[in-house]
Chains A and B, each alone.
Chain A
Amino acid sequence: MKKRLTIWTLLLSITAAVAGISAIVLYDRVTTLNKEITRRFDKDRWQIPARVFARPLELYPGKNISLADLITELRQGGYRHKNPPLSAGEYATQGNLVFLKTREFNFLDGNQGSKECAIQFDKNTIAKTYDITTQQPIDECRLDPITIGSFLPETGEDRILLKYEDLPQQFIDTLLAVEDKTFFSHIGIDPKGILRALYLNFRAGKAVAGGSTLTQQLVKNYFLSNERTLRRKLDEAIMALILEQKYDKEEILAAYCNEIFLGQKGKRALHGFALASQFYFHKKLTQLNLAETSMLVGIIKGPSIYNPIQFLERSQTRKNIVLQILFNDNIIDEQQYRQALDYGFPTINKNALSQGSNYVSFIDFVQRRLRQSYSKQDLTSQGLLIFSTLDPVIHTKAHSQFQATVTEKNKSKKKRLQGAYVIGNRHTGEVVSLMGGIHPRIGDFNRAIDAQRQIGSLIKPAVYLTALNSGYSLASIISDHSVTLEDPSGKSWQPQNYDKTEHGNVMLYQGLAYSLNLATVNLGLQVGLTNVVDTVKKLGVTKNIALYPSILLGSIELSPLQVMQMYQSIAASGFQTPLRAIRGVLNQEKVPIQRNRLSVEQHFTTSEMFLLQFALQEAVRVGTGKGLHNHFPEYQRVAGKTGTTDGYRDSWFAGFTGEMLGVVWLGYDDNTSTGLTGASGAMDAWGSIIKTLPYSKVEPDTPSNIHWRKITPPKVKPSTNSVNQSLYLPMLGKGNTNHTPSQKKGKGSNSLQDSVESLFDSILQIFN
């Protein structure tokens, strides 16, 4: 008896000891896990990448956009063709009319609800815009912008945060019916569910059912690794229990909806239903219909298998299973069930999605600008909403034209050309498209911003502007005669014209239009190097420039972006506006935290810029830019300048139309010869890009102190027809300028009278 007792006591003691030790171990484990949960769940729950939006498309009477371009942008923004367009994000067309229903969106200037609009086109311009609901004409119809990128954290996780209140009831019902029917009543784990799963799996002889609650799934995704051990299973259960103790159901459900992995696109991991809904359906969760909701919930089972973009059929089947469950559970009635079964998902054109999607260089540009105000951590975690200036329609066209032109140029070459371009709005300085290479990839050298290349003749407008600024007129006679100078090392420098000939006395505007090197150097020396450099700086170039005569022919090195700033000042008639890539930033709560104001600073008078613009238009009409006529047969008031550097190492073009401004550079990274001039390379690319963009024929009005005078200029190119053609030149004042700087120097002249006299000289020269 005693012995027995002893055995029992021993057994009991051992059990107690084991239980005690287990309890201690368990307690310890629970404490650790509890800390872990508190740490991660309470603070910095997720890193939300900043998203970058394109500019929102604003449709208004007078806007230059073709119906086809509007459709392209609608498709890029995930709008669906549906007739009639009843829900947000749908459109229909009839003849020259487009009907659409916009999606609600938080813009920089506040929230804008969904609107039904009708857009009426007249050729490639919008004639009228109407509100379909009120049937009244309206000023404009603004679309929600497309997303062009996001700044992912190291993990590659991308998500848009949602709150419990953002979850539509239909979505919650669907999710719980499929994933966790007793979610609102269980304690984190569902013993009955586990038993049922065990039984079903045992009967089937394989795993056909899972017993995990949503809470467990959340724990598994959020805290634990993917290993399948008993210990991990135990941790999962403990954590689920703790989570349910500490947080309410709504919070846990919202966390699940934000955490869940729903797809992968390259390095980007799609997390959460808010992002997945945007990604797969281009809609907010609240805008999904029953069929779409069911499809989305169906993806949980296997994002790589049931992804509707790659496997529409499979995900349809999965959607039908989800609907079946909803119907069996009496969550939907038969009519809803049938309707959702028959819902026709539009097939997604994968090509359309990928087209125009190379935003790498532009995003890099945006990021650099952002980094002036935000840390990398801010950008990858704070969920900032960045409103950029990129125009997706223009960008898509521009970069495909650019690539096509360069591919064409490459045909006769052994090496592959590189290149970059920047395109922007002439007036507001907003950059609408930018490429830092031909096929740029993330991390590549961004030539648009970083390539420092000699700019050649692109500098010339600064020389002529300095002259106009010091009293010369467009008709002033300047000397295109050879000149010998000393370079910094004391060697003699003898610049030459491109055609290796001298053209004698020419009018000032001709020196620029025909890009005459000798005339430019002579003029530059007359007006003074310091003044020229000063002009370059006033045009917006912030770089230090050494005072060598060779800068007159563009020996300074600039990036395409720096050149762009310079030409923006010219195109905006002397009012400099800093180039912008970002309009503003909203924080995660949709509150504006940054706005980049449109600011201007006048550095030159409108009149002198008007004269310079005219000379640049002449460059395209009759001068070195004449080749652009192929691109613009019916509109020749394009202004621009070619640039070629020694040994054909760089091919440049910078120019503008009534609306757009653009700079193109082509060359090799190793600075070897391309065999291309500015005209045969970059200008061709520029023309092929700009001609596809909407251009306004509106030009600056002639300033009131400018008068037009009929002039017969000397002939610059003897080969062209022998009769001198006269033209109207804009002149400051009434023809007599009050300042004659050239007389001081004894060469050239600037009054009209002098010009006409010199003109006779030059005509005589021709006959000599």
Chain B
Amino acid sequence: MMQLPATNISFILMAFTALLVTGCADMQQGVPQAVPQKEISYSVTAKNYTSLSLVKKSKKALKAGDFDLAESLLERAIRKNPYNGWLWLDLAIVSYERGDYDQTLQLCKKSISLAQNDRDLQKKNQQLMQQAYKKE
């Protein structure tokens, strides 16, 4: 058996306790409350839990006008969770901001194709598409 340093052992114990408390059946439910809703407005869904920090960083980059970075971060999120329509909408928003309206429309279509019964997501995509059509 391996020996781990004291800090690690207490850490493991903590980790396991945390696991017992939250239950490991659905990892996605445990965390979102800890995240302030406002900061990421339309992108908080239980589904993209695994990419929350990437989405946040992407928003920040978008605000700063660094489109490439914003896209890089979202693409990382999409690689993890390709079926999450919200992430594709986020990517569409970056495309829109950088003035690539053709790609905005395409990405919105992709997002809608994954929206299923998520009316909110559908609506937001429609809105963005309308805006993009106007600009195009």
Contact = CB atoms under 8 A, between A and B. Distances in A.
A61 B12 CA distance: 17
Interface stretch (A161-169, A341-349, A599-607, A753-761): A599-607
Interface string A685-702: 000000000000010110
A602 B91 contact: no
A38 to B, nearest CB: 39
A108 B7 CA distance: 33
Interface residues of A, number: 50
Interface stretch (A128-136, A278-286, A450-458, A496-504): A128-136
Contacts of B91: 598
A93 B27 contact: no
A245 interface: no
| Majority DSSP secondary structure for residues of A touching B | loop
A112 to B, nearest CB: 12
B5 interface: yes
A717 B49 CA distance: 48
B124 interface: no
B116 A135 contact: no
B73 A139 contact: no
A63 B116 contact: no
B72 A99 contact: no
A597 B2 CA distance: 45
B89 to A, nearest CB: 13
A99 B8 CA distance: 9
B90 interface: no
Contact of A427 (B76, B78, B103): B78
| Majority DSSP secondary structure for residues of B touching A | helix
B4 A83 contact: yes
B17 to A, nearest CB: 12
A210 interface: no
B52 A110 contact: no
A139 B72 contact: no
Interface in A106-138: 108-110, 118, 120, 122, 127-128, 130, 132, 135, 137-138
A225 interface: no
Contact of B113 (A94, A430, A573, A599): A573
A135 B14 contact: yes
A568 B71 CA distance: 22
Given A135-B14, A575-B113, A599-B103, A700 B80 contact: no
Contacts of B49: 61
Contacts of B18: 137
Contact of A61 (B2, B27, B82): B27
B15 A108 contact: no
B50 A61 contact: yes
Given A94-B12, A600-B109, 15 more contacts: A58-B79, A58-B80, A60-B80, A99-B8, A108-B72, A110-B69, A118-B12, A120-B19, A130-B11, A428-B78, A428-B79, A598-B75, A598-B78, A598-B91, A602-B106
